[in-house]
Amino acid sequence: MAADWLGSLVSINCGPTLGVYQGEVSSVNQTSQTISLRQPFHNGVKCPVPEVTFSAMDIKDLKILNIRGGGIGNGFTQTVSFGGQGGRGGGGGGRTAGAPAGSAPMAVPGRADPSGMGDGHASPQQQQQQQCSKSYGEKHMMEMAGQNKGSFRRRHNSWSSSSRGGNQATTPKRNGVRNGGKNKDDECFGDGVDDDLDEDFDFEGNLALFDKAAVFSQIDTSSRSRGTPEKQQTPARYRHDENILEAKPVTYRQIAVPQPGTQEYCTDTGLVVPSVTYELHKRLLSVAEKHGLSLERRLEMTGVCASQMALTLLGGPNRLTPKNVHQRPTVVLLCGPHVQGAQGISCGRHLANHEVEVVLFLPNFVKMLEAITSELSLFNKTGGKQVSSVKDLPTSPVDLVISCLDSHENATLREQPWYRAAADWANQNRAPVLSIDPPVSGREAAVESKWALSLGLPLPLSESVGRVYLCDIGVPRQVFQEVGIKYHSPFGCKFVIPLHSP
């Protein structure tokens, strides 16, 4: 008899302390009065253990949710006696309404049972035993039992939707019949709504009804009848650093020179920067010196800008950090006895102050400019190395070479041995070269550089100097106007900007 209940889905109420369990009956032991559930749910939550065993002493109520094989009750939820012995509460742990302790399980007749009250007039005891159960784990239990999901879509509590049909008239109602013979659950959730949901939707058949060629032909015909609309103007697209609300259009030619050079450059923002002749450049510096921008100030500004550019080329913050003292970059400066050489010495002083290994090449001369003497005195106080012979220069490749060998005034220096030796060393060394204030086009530099730094306004340079950069040496706007140059600063927030060919 106990084997008949194996595989059935039951709900066991163990009181407010232990709660309610649902699961599939895996074993029933009549001797020890225990029952075990496989894959149990506790208060609607799946238990972490695969099996739970209950004693008849702990069971307050046992409801059969589904009987294996569709046997007794034909899907009714039944309340049966478990047969508890001497249970708590005066009637045993497994008692039912009207069932004495220790009695055998009571068989409740189903709708198809001819011996029962199949006409729907059940006794009060049977009506109580046939009440629906909205248990916590009903949905999970039905899935575990392999039931058809469509039979539970209406959330009926007392019978499966498979029972609808000819036997529906004999189905017991929970709270009677009202509103034209509808059950209260059908009235709430809508009877007949899910009748056609069991059929799969035919996607292929529905797609075959769509005539794509006819639809596109209709669209083309409609477009031709309306006429082709005029091409709309594409709205302007702005960069993240551009102002959307512009009061007036930008004038990209903000610098005009009376004697333009042979070349023009443009900045990253599109501003045109014309080149100037060396005569106009020399006159601009002369007027600036009269207004107080002395040679010492220009040397300092040039040294700061050139050293800042060199530090960026050396790696910037990725290379020059306190934790990277074992890889300090090495820079060689090749300087001549002129103003351009003094600019290189000023740059070397600032590089040495930023923990860069600086080697300064400057030949021994009987007479040198006062600016070179003062700059050299400051450089020697930074700890940098000074050499006067090419033989003392590093034999291994260095990080950067800064060339300040050429002069705008004296072109005969290129014939001297020290100049040729320094140029040959720079060309043989595999380090990149930065030229500061290189000569104008037509006087090719002996050292082929990768970058060139011009001062104030660029000179017309040859392609051998590499990419051209422009640095601000602090010439006021009024000085530009005095020499006939219409000038608006192209530097923006920087002191060194790249120039491009238009």
Tell me the C-alpha distance between 385 and 68, whole Å: 98
CA 492, CA 497: separation in Å to the nearest integer?
9
Q: Is 313 helix (H, G, I), strand (E, B) or coil?
A: helix
Pinpoint the alpha helices (H) of 2-73. Answer: 15-18
Look up the domain containing 116 and give its range: 2-189
Q: Which residues contact 318 (CB under 8 A, 6 or more apart)?
A: none
3-class state of residue 236 by DSSP: coil
- The answer to whether residues 183 and 300 belong to one domain is no
Q: What is the pLDDT of residue 226?
A: 63
Query: Apex CA 351: angle with CA 345 and CA 352, to 5°?
Result: 90
- Based on the domain organization, do 264 and 410 belong to the same domain? yes
Asked if 303 and 432 sit in the same domain, the reply is yes
93 belongs to a structural domain: yes
Query: Is there a single domain that holds both residue 157 and residue 306?
Result: no
CATH number at residue 316: 3.40.50.10260
Q: Work out the angle at residue 414's Cα, subtended by the Cα atoms of residues 408 and 417, and round it to the nearest 5 degrees.
A: 145
CATH number at residue 17: 2.30.30.100
- Dist CA 450 CA 458 (whole Å): 16
User: Taking Cα atoms as reference points, which of 127, 112, 121 lies closest to residue 167?
Assistant: 112
Question: Residue 266: enclosing H or E segment and its boundaries?
Answer: strand 260-266
Same domain, 17 and 110: yes
Domain co-membership, 181 together with 291: no
Our count of domains for the chain comes to: 2
**What's the pLDDT at 240?**
79
Q: How far apart are CA 259 and CA 277, in angstroms?
A: 7
Partners of 55 in beta bridges = 34
pLDDT of residue 183: 61
Q: Is the pTM of this model over 0.95?
A: no
Q: Is 317 exposed, middle or buried (0-12, 13-18, 19+ CB in 10 A)?
A: exposed
- Cβ proximity of 53 and 32 under 8 Å: no
Q: What is the DSSP string of 60-107?
A: SEEEEEE-TTS-GGGG--EE-----SS-GGGT-TT-BTTB-TTPPPPP
Is the residue at 91 inside a domain?
yes
329 and 450 housed in the same domain:
yes
- Helix or strand holding residue 401 (H, E): strand 400-404
In-domain check, residue 282: yes
* Residues 157, 281 share a domain: no
Please provide the DSSP assignment of 112-132 as one string: T-TTS-TTS---HHHHHHT--
Distance CA 396, CA 9 (A): 87
pLDDT, position 348: 96
Stretches where the chain sits below pLDDT 70 are 1, 69-198, 225-236, 243, 246-248, 261, 366, 442
Please check whether residues 265 and 132 belong to one and the same domain. no
For position 44, what pLDDT does the model report?
A: 84
Residue with tokens 């306004």: 457
Give residue 493's pLDDT: 92
Residue 289 is predicted with a pLDDT of 94
**C-alpha span between 103 and 124 (Å, rounded):** 20
Q: Residue 498, by phi and psi: left (phi above 0), alpha (psi -120 to 50) or beta?
A: beta
Q: Give 162's DSSP letter.
A: G
Domain check: are 313 and 182 in the same one?
no
Helix (H/G/I), strand (E/B), else coil: 21: strand
Q: Are residues 179 and 326 in the same domain?
A: no
DSSP letter for 274, please. E
Query: Rounded to an integer, what distance in angstroms lies between the CA atom of residue 382 and that of residue 237?
Result: 51
Q: Which two structure tokens, joined as six digits, stand for 415?
A: 């014939």
| Domain end marker among 136, 167, 189 | 189
Type of residue numbered 274: P
* Rounded Cα distance, 191 and 153, in Å: 11
- What is the total residue count of the chain? 502
396: in domain: yes
pLDDT for residue 321? 84
Structure tokens at 78: 């039944």
Q: Residue 335 domain-assigned?
A: yes
- How distant is the alpha carbon of residue 202 from its chain centre? 40
Do both 493 and 375 map to the same domain? yes
Q: Which residues contact 360 (CB under 8 A, 6 or more apart)?
A: 333, 335, 344, 345, 348, 379, 384, 385, 386, 387
The reply to whether 240 falls in a domain is: no
CA-based radius of gyration for the chain: 49
| Residue appearing with tokens 């004495």 | 100
CA–CA gap between residue 302 and residue 14 (Å, rounded): 92
Domain boundary among 164, 189, 214: 189
The three-class DSSP label of residue 354 is: coil
Q: Does residue 194 belong to any structural domain of this protein?
A: no
Cα–Cα distances in Å, from 451 out to 306, 333, 438, 447?
Answer: 11, 14, 10, 11
Measured CA to CA in angstroms, residue 329 lies from 229, 312, 392 at distances of 64, 12, 18
In a domain, 367, yes or no: yes
> Which of 151, 174, 189 is a domain's end point?
189
Residue listed under structure tokens 């300090």: 328
Residue with tokens 């469509």, as numbered in its chain: 150
**Cα–Cα distance, 48 to 70 (Å, whole number):** 29
CA distance 276 to 261: 5
Q: Is 219 exposed, middle or buried (0-12, 13-18, 19+ CB in 10 A)?
A: exposed
